[in-house]
Amino acid sequence: MYEVSDSAVAVKRRVTLDDVAKVAHVATSTASRALNRPGRINAETEALVHQVANDLGYERPEIFWRRTHVLTQKIGVTIRLQEYQMLAAIQDKMILDQYLPVLYPAVSTRVLQTVKREFNNVDGLIIDNPQIPGRIRLEIPNTEPLVVTNCLMDETTCVVPDTEQGVAVLLTHLSSLRHQSITYFYAKDRWLDRSVLQALRSGCERDGLVLHTVGNVGDSLESGHRAVSAWRKHLDSVAVFCGALSAIGFMEELDQSLRVSVPDDVSVVAIGDAFIGRLHQPRTTTLEVPYRKIGTEAVRQLVSQIRHRSRVEKRVKLVNMRLVNGGTTGFF
C-alpha cells in the first residue's frame, strides 16, 4: 500500500509524471510505460501507478493544456535585435497566421526566467540561440509549444542552418581556387560556430586541406583587427570568420597595418549575414546563414504545435545555406 504525502496532495501546479513516479516509488520511465504503454511492465506495478495517477489527478499534457489554456493569439519571441532579418521574417509570418509577436530580452541570464514567467501568457515560444539550452528542459520539462532556432536542444523542435551542407559548398569553392590551408576564427559559446568547426574539420580532412583554428573571436570590427596577429602565425591562404563584422575588421587591419591585399595575398570568407558583407568594398564572400527562412520555418513549426498539440513531433529542421560570391576570394 502506498502513502500520499501531504506535500504531494497539496501540489497546486499541474501533476506531472515525476509526481506520480515519486508517490508510487517507481522510476519516471516506469510510470510512463504504465500509463502510455500498457502491458510493458509488471501488472501489479502498472495497477499501482494508475491508482496513484487517478488519486493525484494526473492528466496527459495535451489534455490538460486543451482543458485549461485559453488561446491568446500571441507568440513569445526571445531574439537579439541584431538578428533583424530573422525577426522581420518571424513578424511577417505571424501576421499572416494572425498571431501577435511578443518580444522578450535576449539576455542569456534571463532566458530561463522569461520562459518560467511568461509561458502561460502566450500560446508558444520561439527562443533563438539559447545560451543555456539544457537548463530549459531540465527546469521546465513540460514547456510546450516551443521552437528553438540556431541551436540544437534535446527533445525539442529546432530550426538550424545545415552547416555540413554549407561548409561542403564552401570547401568546393575554395578547392576550385587551389587553396590548401585555412584559418578559422570563431567564438566558442555559439552553436553555429561549433557546428561549422566540426564540419570544417571533417571536410578539410576529407579534402586534404590544412585547418588551423582560433577560438574566442567575437563578431566585431575590433575582434577582426586583433585576429591579424593570430593569422600571421601560419599565413594560411584563406581566413574564415564566423561573423561578417570580424571579417571586415580583419581586412581593414590587413590593409592599414600590413599592406596585405585581399584577395591577391589572402582570401577572406564570412559566415553569417550576407547583407553586412555587401557594405564592404570589395563585397565580402559570405556563406550565408538563411535567417529569414529560419524565422519563417520556426513560426510554421510553432503554429503547427499550437494547432495540433495531441500529435506534436519533435524534429530538427535543416535549412540550406548558400555561398554568396563577393570579391574577397581568389586564386592562390
Domains and CATH numbers, the chain: 6-58 (1.10.260.40), 71-159+292-319 (3.40.50.2300), 163-289 (3.40.50.2300)
Pick the more confident residue, 203 or 40: 203
The three grid cell numbers given for residue 290, joined into one nine-digit string: 538563411
How far CA 5 is from CA of 29, 47, 58, 61, in Å, comes to 21, 19, 16, 23
Which pLDDT does position 248 carry in this prediction? 97
Span 121-134, pLDDT tens digits: 788 889 888 765 55
Contacts of 27 (CB under 8 A, 6+ apart): 21
217 neighbors 190 (Cβ within 8 angstroms)? no
3-state secondary structure of 271: strand
The CA-based angle 12-13-14, given to 5 degrees, is 125
Query: What is the arithmetic mean of pLDDT over 270-280?
Result: 91
Residue 311: pLDDT band by 50, 70, 90 thresholds?
low
Q: What is the pTM of this model?
A: 0.75
Query: What is the arithmetic mean of pLDDT over 232-249?
Result: 97
Q: For residues 8-39, b (16+ Cβ closer than 10 Å) or e, as one string?
A: beeeeeebbbebbbbbbebeeebbbbbbeeee
How far is Cα 161 from Cα 71, in angstroms, rounded to an integer? 31
CA 204 to chain centre: 24
Residue with cell 504545435: 305
How far is Cα 15 from Cα 255, in angstroms, rounded to an integer? 63
Q: 145 preceded by cis ω (within 30°)?
A: yes
Span 144-183, pLDDT tens digits: 688 999 998 877 899 999 999 999 999 999 999 999 999 9
Task: Mean pLDDT check: name the lowest of 102-106, 108-112, 209-213.
Answer: 108-112
Task: Mean pLDDT check: name the lowest of 100-104, 106-110, 186-190, 316-320.
Answer: 106-110
